Chains A and B, each alone.
Chain A
Amino acid sequence: MTESSPLRSRLRTAALVGVGAVVLASCAQDAPQDTWDPAGSEAQRIHDLQWPIFMIAGIVGLIVMAVVAICVVKFKDRGQPIPEQSHGKAWLEYMFIALPAVLLAGIAVPTVATIIELNDTDDADCVINVTGQQWWWEYDYPIAGDGSICGYMPTGETGTIVTSGQMVIPTDAKVVIRGTSRDVIHSFWVPRLNGKRDMVPGGVHTWNFNANEPGIYAGQCAEFCGLSHANMRMEIVALDAADFQSWIDNQLEPYQPPEEGTLAAEGEAEFVAQCARCHQVDGLTDADGNLVVAHPEDQVYSGAAPNLTNLMTRNTFAGATWDLLVEDCRDEVWDAPADEFGPLYLEGVTDECLNETQLKQWLRNAPAMKPMYTDAELLEPTDGLVRGMPYLALSEDQIDKLVAYLLERK
């Protein structure tokens, strides 16, 4: 018996470590973007299709790799004479053509059927407009002819709801999104609810999904869209009927100004002076009582900035990348059982649960947290318009006031 060489031994160890790493990676827990864990009917359709295809492809792949490995090892040049070369075995060649053709045809039939089913936008229960821009998602809820929103009639006066980062939907409802982009191509992807759909500027692209149970479903922009592509996340929050009705009613509540003489009231003035050029808060008025209308198109390349009217009803900010909730409160909401989730989510961000550290850090210097194109010296290509939130040189006093004001936006 020959002794294996040190090189061969090292290669074997490296291969084992590589394979082991791959195997261990598949054991990941707490993976909110797991395509193998569908939570809605569309994702289930994809799952039912990809399992058998994965099995077929995996078996074919293993066979091919095994044959290649055998050939590489067995027929390696060791100075032996070149084997006799032969050509022609018609039945084998026919089989090599017919077998893949049959396999592909067999895969094509359910694949095409699934694609058609996934693109069916008829009989929608809820329609939401989605607009992507560097590097966050905006959602607005159109009003139906009868005044309802997403199939739910507001208890008070109806109106348009605009939000960002977290899209709220009712459970067990067929949701159709009409998506587009304001700047570059983005891709909407919440793996547990459906596959990816590109959002291309100038076009409107539809996609649909539903969520079986209340909860938060995480997603990620799936088309490279610039510097902070990795920080462009999205979350879909599913609420049961009663909770969704409460959410809609709350979103349509008229603007409540802070109580006079409070830190939040001072924060409102700071907001008008510093933030309202880009960020809209519906119903906000200036010192003269004039309605404040944000004009992000004068400052931002995409022409939009997140609407902050009900910021504290969401629990993430800055493209759903950072939490508005401290870790314990966040875990409580994310890990809540389906029947307890809605009320917890609707509580929004409370004084005790506010992630003040990161929110203040963001206000202190946003580009230091999330890479963005905001350096005034490098904005020639965009005629001075920023892509992202710039450094505003706010004092700690201003930041405290703004946080106090924002905490009341729910």
Chain B
Amino acid sequence: MFTTGTKLLIGSAALAWIGAAVYGVAQEGALGTIGLVSAAVALSLLAGINTFVRDSNVSATDTESFETSAAAQATARNSLWPLLSALGITMMALGMATLPAIFILGIVVTAAGLLEWLVQGWSERASAERAYNDEAREVLADPLELPVAGAIVFAVIVYSFSRVMLGMSTKEATVVVFSVLAAVVLAIGTMIALKRNISTPVITGVFSIGIVAVIAGGAIAGLNGEREVHEHETTADLAEENECGPEETHADDKASQTVAAKSNPAATLIFDGAALEIDQAGDDGNSETLTLPRSNPSNIMFLNESDGEARLVLELHPPVDESGVPISIERICTTLVEEGGRQFMTAEFDRPSFALEDEGVAYEFVVAGTDASVEVVVP
């Protein structure tokens, strides 16, 4: 009467209708109900079309041949996949009571177990010949299983390496240990390459020992914890300590002189050694002020085209408290930018410019140690 595809669509449509009714009553949510009703209507339409054209498969209506075929007579073989699914469901239950991560892992394990079980169940009824069925399973499952297994092994190795690297007492020790390790890997690889008739068990053994060693090392290092990593001073520290001057600081040491995302800044400020020029879309190059929105982070790109290093500073003129002390940071700055280098600065203004006029000040970009400046107008 109904083909398999039609049954699936009718079932899905029914589920969507029930879901819409339950959601509508239980959650009183119009948006979700509209979404579910839309899905139900679409599925009902598809089910109707499928019923009309009978899945475009005349032979599908012949159910008798499916039930009496030789392939359908095979007995199901033992499978470990239900066990994996059960483990996944247990993890989900455990995760609900403990950690969300365990719950999510449980979902993944359950889904993987059910999928594998499904594929095995299908392959066992692919034909009456067991060897063919096994091959059919491999054809379907290998492209899924092998990349996933490879990714898991790769992730475990990378994670173990990272734990070992972070577990070393010093950065220098990490360099020495991994240089030696790399040399050993290279030596073993060379030996394997030079020896022509090396047996598979030997290679397997060497790789297995290597992987176990890496995982064991990672586990030990992970349990021991990470070494203390010295925090590098940043431009935020410079602003905090009011050190946005032309002198080189620790924050400038080894600072990147490149900007990865150059698109869509609010403006580019170009320093030619004497003045700051504003480069903005739609601008004819004659603007003397930069208009930036209030209460919204704006990204400004600083391009140093002068002959020396330069630092862009934004004077923020924050309000002061009763004792005349600024209530927030007075200025922010980029690192010292080398000749031809670029830096991004993200700035946010919480007062309009007219609120500063009474104090006789204005928001202003300046290049530290020079007279180059651009006023910022905040409407």
Contacts and interface: CB of A to CB of B under 8 A. Distances in A.
A180 B358 CA distance: 29
Interface stretch (B176-184, B219-227, B261-269, B335-343): B261-269
Contacts of B52: 72, 76
B294 A206 contact: no
Interface stretch (B20-28, B130-138, B278-286): B278-286
B281 A140 contact: no
A204 B58 contact: no
Contact of A203 (B263, B282, B352): B263
Contacts of B350: 295, 297
Contact of B354 (A127, A203, A291): A291
Contacts of B298: 180, 204
A190 B266 CA distance: 23
B169 interface: no
Contacts of B358: 291
Prevailing SS type, chain B contact patch? loop
A146 B281 contact: no
Given A205-B264, A206-B282, A293 B355 contact: yes
Contacts of A200: 264
Interface residues of A, number: 42
A293 B377 CA distance: 15
Interface in B269-308: 280-284, 286-289, 291, 293-299
Interface residues of B, number: 35
B295 A304 contact: yes
Contact of A160 (B263, B283, B377): B377
B125 interface: no
Given A160-B379, A293-B351, A182 B286 contact: no
B94 interface: no
A131 B293 contact: yes
A176 B281 contact: yes
A303 B298 CA distance: 14
Contact of A280 (B266, B282, B352): B352
Contacts of A82: 58
Interface string A141-154: 01111100000000
Contacts of A129: 291, 293
Given A144-B286, A291-B358, A203 B264 contact: yes
24 contacts: A72-B52, A76-B53, A77-B53, A77-B58, A124-B283, A129-B291, A131-B296, A140-B291, A140-B293, A142-B287, A142-B377, A143-B291, A143-B377, A160-B377, A160-B379, A176-B282, A180-B296, A180-B298, A200-B264, A204-B264, A205-B264, A208-B282, A291-B354, A291-B358
Sort A-B residue pairs by CB-CB distance and give the 10 closest, nearest first: A303-B295, A203-B264, A176-B282, A142-B291, A145-B286, A124-B282, A127-B282, A140-B379, A206-B281, A160-B379
Interface of A: 72, 76-77, 82, 121, 124, 127, 129, 131, 138, 140, 142-146, 160-162, 176, 178, 180, 182, 200-206, 208, 280, 282, 291, 293, 295-297, 302-304, 307
Interface of B: 52-54, 58, 263-267, 280-284, 286-289, 291, 293-299, 350-355, 358, 377, 379
